[in-house]
């Protein structure tokens, strides 16, 4: 499992790598984000090209992924700048058409890898068209946050419960593209327990996940982070949980799937303020 750690702090990036993080994630997306997610307690920091350069310098041997803005008039310049700053992967968010994907592919011209952030209903409907570019798509991450908003759902993990992600995962794997989805909290935490979410990653064949803010607590330095979280220990807990699922019978994964449906239903009921007799 590839663990993605969002930060623009070189010191934290270096420390996270030493604790078992595989990829540092610098997030430059800002166009439209406040409008979509302004009511949510989600990551909205605006990172910069200077941050990309600093992270690349701090951890040159660690994979560096940069989320750019959705396709707009400045995309060509943004792609060039991100690559020149040291990005190993570019993540394209909020695309709705295969043409938008093709625009970024043509600008990258093989200079770095491409990760698509699949998070709009339009992109789901047009998935087959998008996958026609499979030879130039290195990986796909399914974004549960914006996807659940686009679908008009009440809770991001609700997307997992209706079979939609099963279908999408199958299509992506058939195209021989690796994928991941959503984020994960620390073991024992999360509105839906992290261990349940990890079970779905194993069942669906996911290979990537974003570490939530519970892993860094918005710390500004390594010393501050160490006071709140034993990052290495928390990542080892994730690994043990994943290994347990990988070595389990299919019935364990199936039972976990039912448990996560029940957990999500409970969260949605509370969010909607429904009283169950």
Is 44 among the domain residues?
yes
Say what the pLDDT of residue 46 is.
Answer: 83
Per the structure, the complete domain to which residue 257 belongs is given by: 2-272
Is 277 among the domain residues?
no
Torsion of CA 64, 65, 71, 75, to 10 degrees: 0
**C-alpha distance from residue 229 to each of 45, 153, 241 (Å):** 21, 32, 18
Mode of pairing for the β-strands spanning 23-27 and 2-6: parallel
Say what the pLDDT of residue 92 is.
Answer: 98
Mean pLDDT value across the chain: 94
Domain count for the chain: 1
Query: How much is the average pLDDT of 136-155?
Result: 96
Among the residues of 66-162, which ranges form H helices? 75-85, 98-108, 121-125, 127-130, 144-150
Is 224 among the domain residues?
yes
If pLDDT is split at 50, 70 and 90, which confidence band does 37 have? very low
Is 7 among the domain residues?
yes
Among 40-44, 66-70, 131-135, 235-239, name the one with the lowest average pLDDT. Answer: 40-44
Is 138 among the domain residues?
yes
pLDDT tens, residue by residue, 72-110: 999 999 999 999 999 999 999 999 999 999 999 999 999
Task: Please tell me whether residue 80 adopts helix, strand or coil conformation.
Answer: helix
Residue that is written with structure tokens 């990309």 in the block: 52
CATH number at residue 91: 3.20.20.60
What pTM, to 2 d.p., does this model score? 0.92
Among 192-196, 197-201, 269-273, name the one with the lowest average pLDDT. Answer: 269-273
Is 99 among the domain residues?
yes
If pLDDT is split at 50, 70 and 90, which confidence band does 271 have? confident
């Amino acid at each position: 499992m590839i663990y993605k750690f969002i930060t623009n702090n070189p010191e934290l990036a270096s420390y996270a790598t030493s604790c078992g993080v595989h990829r540092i994630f610098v997030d430059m997306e800002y166009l439209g984000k406040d409008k979509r997610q302004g009511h949510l307690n989600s990551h909205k920091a605006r990172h910069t090209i200077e941050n990309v350069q600093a992270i690349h310098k701090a951890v040159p041997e660690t994979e560096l992924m940069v989320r750019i803005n959705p396709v707009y008039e400045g995309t060509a310049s943004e792609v060039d700048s991100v690559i020149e700053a040291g990005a190993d992967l570019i993540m394209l968010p909020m695309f709705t058409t295969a043409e938008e994907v093709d625009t970024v592919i043509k600008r990258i011209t093989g200079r770095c890898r491409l990760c698509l952030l699949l998070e709009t209903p339009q992109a789901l409907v047009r998935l087959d068209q998008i996958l026609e570019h499979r030879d130039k798509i290195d990986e796909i991450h399914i974004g549960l946050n914006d996807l659940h908003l686009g679908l008009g759902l009440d809770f991001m993990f609700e997307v997992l419960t209706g079979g939609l992600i099963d279908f999408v995962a199958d299509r992506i794997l058939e195209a021989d593209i690796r994928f991941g989805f959503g984020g994960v909290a620390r073991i024992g935490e999360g509105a839906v327990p992290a261990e349940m979410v990890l079970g779905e990653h194993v069942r669906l064949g996911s290979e990537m996940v974003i570490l939530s803010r519970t892993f860094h607590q918005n710390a500004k330095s390594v010393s501050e982070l160490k006071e709140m979280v034993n990052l290495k220990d928390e990542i080892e807990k994730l690994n043990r949980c994943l290994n347990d699922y990988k070595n389990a019978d299919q019935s364990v994964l199936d039972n976990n799937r039912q448990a996560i449906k029940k957990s999500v239903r409970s969260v949605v009921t509370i969010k909607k303020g429904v009283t169950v007799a």
